[in-house]
Structure 1
Amino acid sequence: MQRIKARYLIETPDEPMQVAEVLAGEQSSGTFVRVANESEDLKALTRATVEVIEELEPLSEPSLPNALLSRQGRGGPWRRARVTVSFPPANIGRNLPTLAATLAGNLYDLGGTTGLRLEHIDLPSEFRNRFERPRHGVRGTRMLTQVEGRPLIGTIIKPNVGLSAEETGTLVGELCEAGVDFIKDDECNADSEHAPIAQRIPAVMNHVRRWQDKTGKAVMVAFNISDEHEAMLRHADLVAREGGTCVMVSLNWAGFSSVQALRRHTDLVIHGHRNGFGMMSRHPALGMDFQPYQTLWRLTGTDHMHVHGLDGKFSQPNSEVIEGAHDSLAPLADPADRDDIVMPAFSSGQWAGTLPQTAKAVPSGDFLFMCGGGILAHPQGPTAGVKSLHEAWAALAAGQTLAEAAAEAPNLAAALSFFGRSK
């Protein structure tokens, strides 16, 4: 069968091909010396292979410290190269933690490097099909929320701590009436003492069901069930019993195996929150890009992936946010498999004024557009905040600028005046 391919950026004072070969050996069959029972036949069966190496401009200073090189008195120039390595799927089987350990494990600690970053993963179709798939993805999310032809307008419960279960339910009821499609818990609010999840889920769903009975509109709520594994399963079951459709998980802290097991346990939409990804991505010579990160997590069967927001409050440039959205909407292996895509969630400092560029970046409209402060801090209240987003989308659909539409859209006009000033 075809092999798994991974592309890395490496930095080293040594010959890049030599370091690439060490990486390939370390992450498959090898160690730094030949060992007993090691044969050429075994190496041919299990060893990773360096496929491509492209040397880049060197650096005059190392990107990261390296105690081994310092002890050896080694200096630059610090050579950089993009390296593609292929791995035999037989080494991994159907084991997601082993896939992650193979592609992003001890290689970060290699003694000959002052920088190493995983940039891209390519999976063969047969290997991809060994793992979980999105149960809902874009198509299922649209069906459950009854939203077609536009992005889903969403928000985050704010303040994320402090509201009681009943107060949270009341706020959700108000947001439902305002016309929101999607509501999620904050990543820092899962099972707090002031709003225990066993109380918050029924309190919120009481208002969601009431609104659905009245209007037929199904608002999706992503309850943050991040917890010990068995507790997560119990929380998911409670959401399902209460008629909910979605749960949210802090992916990095729950772990691959737990999310994978959650996917097998429940039919609920899984909203994947990537909080903590910045520690893997912000240094350009360390960690990984979003493409390999979201590839690994999509193998757990998640349906939504956070990508941050355009002109938001976080450190990412817009180009990375857009690329993350495009990665989420790309099938993992078979380009024709449109069911193997997940819905990107734009979040972080979003409001009506950032909707036009987001819609331009994802012309299909297949995204969650989530505004915390952009709705809940609207000067005329949360209802006006939601309406400002609907008015902004109507303007875009009509070919108007937001400024042009604001003359007859009071909620949008207030948002542009209030948030536009702070931006």
Structure 2
Amino acid sequence: MSDRIHAHYFVETPYDLEHATQVMAGEQSSGTFTRLASETDALREAHGARVESIQHLEVVDHPSLPLRADLAPTARHGYQRALVELSWSLVNFGPSLPNLVSTVAGNLFELKEFSGLRLLDLELPPAFADAYPGPRFGTAGTRRLSGVGQGPLIGTIVKPSVGLTPAQTAEMVCQLLDGGIDFIKDDELQANGPHSPLKARVDAIMPLVNAHAERTGKKVMYAFNISGDIDEMREHHDYVVAAGGTCVMVAINSIGLAGVTHLRRHCQVALHGHRAGWGLYSRSPHIGIGFAAYHKLWRLAGVDHIHVNGLRNKFSEADDSVIASARACQVPLFGASAPDYTVMPVFSSGQSATQVADTHAALGNSDLIYCCGGGIMAHPGGIADGVASLRQAWEAAAAGIAPEVYSRDHIELAQAMETFR
């Protein structure tokens, strides 16, 4: 396998395409706006980025992103779109995730030569596997910790997102435990606020989780949101572990790659990665970072779970993008001789029993966490029936039975199909 880093991009430019991509390669390696005497041919050969390939696409009449007014004359022949592959030698920055991002997704987004530029995918050499341990638990470890050997982890999010006291949160958790839930998570907006401090939530919730485990033999996984400063996250992680918890959650874009990496090396429980802010990278097809590239960074950094949205979700992401993201999480990053770094995709955002059949059919497996807020709590039969409706929907999907047929003998599923259609 090559020791070079390869990055794949969509680009759009009013300039000559070959010229624009050479500017892009130079800006992100040894070049600047003019040739320097110290930038020798030998230095460029060793450290310069290479344009590996250019695949011409269509020419469009208007720029996808704003351009400076003085650049308009360069566009008299339109805006050429293309798929471009660049590569860099590992010696430029070594197996360092923060410096990788500075190189493959740094100043290039600002270059005047481009009216569109998006990082689509990354291919990384094995040195990154040597430098980063990746997920501690992943799919198999999450199943072991949660006691869910097969099928999806049926989960939910504490709602309202903020405003509940620790005691009120614990009251809701008690109902969810009694209802047969597998996984519960804090909302990304609720970490360590004055109205519901993290330690107070742990003190209120974990005795319930532990008592339920004593009664049933199954410990429900609760993902406590410990997002914060480095020392604060370490302290709160340790507090969750001491209380018997099996999962902590962080908002990965908020704490950054270095924060996740540091926490992973300290972490003794499953690390749940919430991608709050994902729309900044994904909303436009003409700028940002595609999930294929994005999620590899966080897998290396060490999350065990990562959000992928859900079918017919409440956000802007299309269904095919959601499924492609979930599939990507389950594909090994490196060869058979290295850890596979696979992680568990988390479906959420307006999910209920009504999307289960399509989700299973599109993904082809149930190695996922399926989080439903309203899809559980707004079920007309209550929380227990909401959980039951989801289990029934997944049972039907695994057996290849249409939910409309299965619901004839399963009232909880029938009510969910009627309520959330």
TM-score range, shorter chain: over 0.9
Per-residue deviation, 1:278: 0.6
- 1:270 correspondence with 2:287: no
- Check if 1:122 corresponds to 2:123: yes
Which residue in 2 is equivalent to 1:238? 239
Measured on the aligned residues, the alpha-carbon RMSD in Å equals 1.5
In the alignment, what sits opposite 1:154?
155
Structure 2: distance between partners of 1:48 and 1:152: 44
Q: Kindly state the Cα deviation for residue 37 of structure 1 after the two structures are TM-superposed.
A: 2.3
Whether the 8 Å contact between 1:169 and 1:206 is mirrored in structure 2 is no
Quote the Cα distance in structure 1 between the aligned partners of 2:61 and 2:51. Answer: 26
1:192 is displaced (CA, Å) by 2.2
Q: Which residue does 1:169 correspond to in 2?
A: 170
> What is the deviation of 1:76?
4.3
Paired position in structure 2 for 1:84: 85
Q: Which moved more, 1:359-368 or 1:178-187?
A: 359-368
Distance between the aligned counterparts of 1:71 and 1:400, measured in 2?
Answer: 58
Q: How big is the shift at 1:124?
A: 1.8
**C-alpha distance 410-336 of structure 1, shift in aligned 2 (>3 A):** farther
Runs of 5+ unmatched residues, structure 1: none
Counterpart check, 1:400 vs 2:401: yes
Is 1:289–2:290 an aligned residue pair?
yes
Asked whether the 8 Å contact 2:14–2:80 carries over to 1, the reply is yes
Instruction: Tell me if 1:299 matches 2:327.
Output: no
**Counterparts of residues 168-187 of structure 1 (less than 5 Å):** 168-187=169-188
Deviation of the 1:194 alpha carbon: 2.1
Does the alignment pair 1:190 with 2:194? no
The letter of the residue matching 2:388 is: K
Q: 1:220 is aligned with what amino acid?
A: M
Instruction: Give TM-score scaled by structure 2 length.
Output: 0.96
Give, as a single letter, the amino acid of the residue that structure 1 aligns with 2:362.
A
2:394 is matched by which residue type in structure 1? W
Q: How big is the shift at 1:398?
A: 3.6
* 2:384 matched residue in structure 1: 383
- Alpha-carbon displacement from aligned partner over 1:314-367 (angstroms, at most 9, x marks no partner): 111110000000111111222675641000001111101111111112223111
Distance between the aligned counterparts of 2:279 and 2:70, measured in 1?
Answer: 27
1:225-253 residue CA offsets vs partner (Å, 9 max, x unmatched): 11112111111111111110111111111
- What are the Cα deviations for residues 200-244 of structure 1, in whole angstroms up to 9, with x where unaligned? 012111110010011111111111111112111111111111110
- The farther-off stretch of 67-76 and 40-49 is 67-76
C-alpha distance in 2 between matches for 1:43 and 1:251: 35
Structure 1 residues 152, 69: CA separation in 2 closer, same or farther (over 3 Å shift)?
A: farther
Deviation at 1:129, TM superposition (A): 2.7
Cα offset, 1:38, TM superposition = 2.1
In the alignment, the residues of structure 2 paired with residue 356 and residue 377 of structure 1 have an alpha-carbon distance, to the nearest angstrom, of: 20
Is residue 2:315 matched to residue 1:314? yes
Question: Greater CA deviation, 54-63 or 146-155?
Answer: 146-155
Distance 1:68 1:124 in 2: 41
Residue 382 of structure 1 and its aligned partner are, at CA, apart by: 1.3
Instruction: Give the percent of matched residue pairs that are identical in Structure 1 and Structure 2.
Output: 44
1:89 touches 1:127 (CA, 8 Å); kept in 2? no
SS of structure 2 residue aligned to 1:270: strand
Residues 36-79 of structure 1: CA deviation (Å, up to 9, x unaligned): 42211111111110001011110011101111644767544001
| Distance (whole Å) between structure 2 residues aligned to residue 284 and residue 345 of structure 1 | 23
Alignment size in residue pairs: 420
| Residue in 2 that maps onto 1:351 | 352
Quote the Cα distance in structure 1 between the aligned partners of 2:246 and 2:19.
Answer: 51
Provide the rounded CA distance (Å) in 2 between the counterparts of 1:87 and 1:335: 24
Out of 301-310 and 85-94, give the one that drifted further.
Answer: 85-94
The amino acid across from 2:156 in the alignment is T
So what's the TM-score if we normalise by structure 1?
Answer: 0.96
Asked if structure 2 preserves the Cα contact closer than 8 Å seen for 1:184 and 1:222, the reply is: yes
Name 1:135's counterpart in structure 2.
Answer: 136
- Compute the displacement of 1:374 (Å): 0.5
Contact 1:5 1:86 in 2 (8 A): yes
- Tell me, yes or no, if structure 1 residue 412 matches structure 2 residue 413: yes
User: How far apart are 1:193 and its partner, in Å?
Assistant: 2.3
Point out the more displaced range, 374-383 or 304-313. 374-383
